[in-house]
């Protein structure tokens, strides 16, 4: 496991940002459970957002949906669903149930282009930042690097 570089900030578990992210992660798991229950496939499906989703070629799910997909794969052998597919609306509705997260929140809180990396350790969410003076807001707290490394070591047990 790689570690973050100092300085490090932790997102407060009491913050709306943290709660929204946890809900988002849970909703994604619920979506894939519902997808598997409905269509019988656990592997091969992915989505970028609620109107752009598809499957990877060479998978069982590809064989099932191949007539509902665009003809040409992207560079990663991924095929998007046609908007007129008989499954498009149904899958879209499942994806729309996932909690929306603001993709710019980390820039608002930690500074524009100031994040070097992020990491989850159990239920704790950390960010390495390039410059502490750009961090604003009360949704994150600075973490001493030695304390962070202790958490990393304990998570390896």
pLDDT in tens, the chain (157 residues): 799 999 999 999 999 999 999 999 999 999 999 999 999 998 999 999 888 999 999 999 999 999 999 999 999 999 999 999 999 999 999 999 999 999 899 999 999 999 999 999 999 999 999 999 999 989 999 999 999 999 999 998 7
Number of domains in the chain: 2
82, 54: one domain: yes
87, 39: one domain: yes
Integer Cα distance of 68 and 82 in angstroms: 6
For the chain, what percentages of helix, strand and coil (3-state, to nearest 5) are there? 40, 25, 40
117, 68: one domain: no
- Is 115 contained in some domain? yes
132, 72: one domain: no
- Is 3 contained in some domain? no
Cα of 81 vs its chain's centroid, Å: 21
pTM of the model: 0.84
Integer Cα distance of 120 and 10 in angstroms: 10
- Is 122 contained in some domain? yes
- Is 44 contained in some domain? yes
Integer Cα distance of 59 and 101 in angstroms: 30
Integer Cα distance of 144 and 139 in angstroms: 17
147, 91: one domain: no
Integer Cα distance of 109 and 64 in angstroms: 43
39, 88: one domain: yes
- Is 42 contained in some domain? yes
- Is 151 contained in some domain? yes
* Structural domain that includes position 121: 8-13+102-155
78, 127: one domain: no
149, 132: one domain: yes
Q: Would you state the pLDDT for residue 137?
A: 84
CA distances 82 to 5, 28, 53, 60, Å, are 43, 22, 9, 18
Other Cβ atoms closer than 10 A to 44:
18
Q: Which of 78, 96, 114 is a domain's end point?
A: 96
Question: Would you say 140 and 27 are in contact if contact means Cβ atoms under 8 Å apart?
Answer: no
89, 115: one domain: no
The DSSP code for 5 is P
Q: Would you state the pLDDT for residue 1?
A: 79
């Amino acid at each position: 496991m790689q570690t973050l570089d100092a300085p490090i900030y932790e997102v407060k578990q009491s913050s709306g940002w943290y709660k929204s992210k946890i809900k988002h992660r849970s909703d994604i798991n619920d979506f894939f459970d519902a997808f598997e229950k409905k269509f019988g496939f656990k592997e091969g499906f992915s989505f970028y957002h609620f109107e752009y989703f598809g499957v990877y070629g060479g998978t069982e799910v590809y064989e099932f949906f191949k007539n509902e997909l665009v003809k040409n794969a992207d560079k990663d052998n991924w095929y998007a669903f046609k908007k007129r597919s008989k499954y498009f609306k149904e899958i879209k509705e499942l994806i729309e149930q996932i909690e929306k997260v603001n993709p710019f929140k980390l820039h608002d809180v930690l500074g524009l282009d100031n994040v070097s990396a992020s990491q989850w350790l159990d239920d704790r969410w950390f960010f390495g930042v390039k410059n502490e003076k750009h961090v604003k807001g009360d949704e994150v707290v600075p973490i001493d690097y030695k304390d962070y490394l202790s958490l990393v070591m304990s998570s390896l047990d």
